[in-house]
Structures are given as C-alpha cells and as structure tokens.
Amino acid sequence: DYCGVFAVAAASGAVILTHERNRGKGAALRTGFADIVARLPGYGVVTADCDGQHTHTDIARISARLDTLPPGQRCVVLGCREFTGPVPARSRLGNSVTRVLFRSITRQDVPDTQTGLRAFPAITLPWALGIQGDRFDYEFRMLLLARQSGISLVTVPIETIYTDGNGSSHFRPLVDSLRIYAPLVRFAGSSLLAFGVDTAMLLLLNWLTGWLLIAVVGARAVSAGVNFVVNRRLVFRRGREVPLRSASLRYLSLAALLLAANYGVLTALTDAGTPLLLAKVVTEAALFLASYSIQRTIVFDPLSGSHNSPAQMLVRTASHPV
C-alpha cells in the first residue's frame, strides 16, 4: 500500500530496507540497526514513528541531543510526550498503566514508555541488536533491560500530537498489550498458583497446629518450591541459563527475605484485628512487584553476578513504593 511513498524516498536518496513479509516493528528496527552498524560504523541512529506523532522539530531535537552526549556514554535518548491537551483515552490509559508498572519494576520514572522517537549512539547499537522481540514488545523490553545492562535512559520532552484519534497507529490495544506485558502476566499467573498453594497450606497448618509461625513457614516452603520451578522454566526463560545451584541459592535468599517481610506484615495485620485470609491477600499484593523485580534482575538473570544482593534489592524496592 505504501510502495509509492518508499519509491519517492528512494528517489530522494534514502536507502530502503525490506522484509518479504511483515515481521513486526522490533524486527524492522533490528534490520535497520544492523545495516547502520555494517554500512556506517560509528554513526548513531534516530528512530521515529510514521503515524504523524513526531514533528520534524522534535526529530531534530532528539538528533541534536545525541550529538551532545559525552563520548562513550551507553544510553538511549527518549523523546517523551507530556500527554497534555486532547489525548485518546486508550493512549492515555495505556501509557499511565505502563508507566506505573515500569516504575514499580525498575525504580525509574520514564514519562513516556511507549515513545518511538528514540536516539541511539553507535556504542549502544550492538546491545539493541541483541534484544529479543519482533513486535511492539521489543521497545518496552529494551527499557526493561536497560538499567541492568548499564544503559542509561535520557529523556527529552517533545510535543504531544494525535491525528484523527491516532487512527493510523497499528498498535492493537489487547493483543499487543498482552505481548508487551507477557513477562509480568506469566509472573502473575505463577504467583497466583503459588498463592493458592500457600494459602491452602497456611489455613491447613494453622488449623492443625494453632501456631501462625509454623503455618507461615510450612506453607511458604511448599509454595516456594512450586514457584521456583515454574518461574525458572516458564516465566523468566533466561533463568534456565543460570546454573541450578546458583539460581536455587539466590531464590532461597530472596524467599527468606520475603518470608520475614510476609510474617511481619501478616502479624501486624492480624494483631490489628484483620481476618487471616484478608490479611494474607493484602500482604501478598504488597510484596508482588518487589518479588518480580528481584527475580527478574537477580535470581533468574544470567548476567546478574555483578548486581546487588537480594537483600539490597528488597530494601531499595521497599524504599521506592508505587
């Protein structure tokens, strides 16, 4: 449908790269990055969406910011909309949800996690080429992996523009959102399974012994075993690259920390008169995002040897609440 547009671009001197079929935005970006690395080594890249949301002025501003970076700085420059004025409801809601989740998981606040206007210095391109994901999930995964990879995120404010309710966007709210949030959705499912096992064992052991501490420890021992196996094999798939012994020790350290936090919060709530089942739900919800962040960046990350310990991560996560 757009061959005419590309023909005009080619006639104007642009290099046009093509795929035989639509492989998705992430695959297209990697193809472009690979071409620049091979054909123009040492050059940075600016990417911009083609749905009318990025002005020539903003594209030039992002390019200029790339030129002012200190030599050797590994970063991604993000053109961030401020979402002022008339913004389609799905766009405003989608960015708000993603921003909260991203801040909760990474402890970084990025005003616009869905922006396609980005700049990459040459030193960052090999890293970007190694990120998985062929569709819209590629760009969000890039942000998730940045901090643990030593890549800083530099934000630059840009104009907020939506033409005809953003009808030209190819983003599918349900399908593509599920793809973007897939790691968190899988973790939620695994946590729900562990929560069910843990809650059932907690109620059973508390009924049998009448001692909350024994009930909490016994229930967590059973549910933690189930959770470890599911997360290592299905949720954090790179976790299978971490030696079993190393992953087990990291997970046990985290489990001990979360157990202490779980018992402390649970005791405080029940002492205050909260029913045990309700107290259990509140406690698990409070620790959910902290557990996800630590498991993703430490327990099941093959490159986490130089990261902080689970204890340090838990303290830092607790000091940056949602």
Please state, for a pLDDT cut of 90, what percent of the chain lies above it: 27
pLDDT tens per residue, range 128-183: 999 888 887 888 888 888 887 889 999 998 887 655 544 445 555 545 555 666 66
pLDDT of residue 103: 75
**CA-to-CA dists, residue 52 to 62, 72, 117, 282, angstroms:** 16, 32, 11, 44
CB 171 within 8 A of CB 136: yes
| Residue 140 buriedness (CB in 10 A; 0-12 / 13-18 / 19+) | buried
When mean pLDDT is compared across 1-10, 19-28, 158-167, the lowest value belongs to 158-167
122 or 238, greater pLDDT: 122
239 or 229, greater pLDDT: 229
Residue 307 pLDDT exceeds 90: no
Residue appearing with tokens 């083609």 = 50
pLDDT band (50, 70, 90) for residue 83? low
pLDDT of residue 313: 47
pLDDT band (50, 70, 90) for residue 4? very high
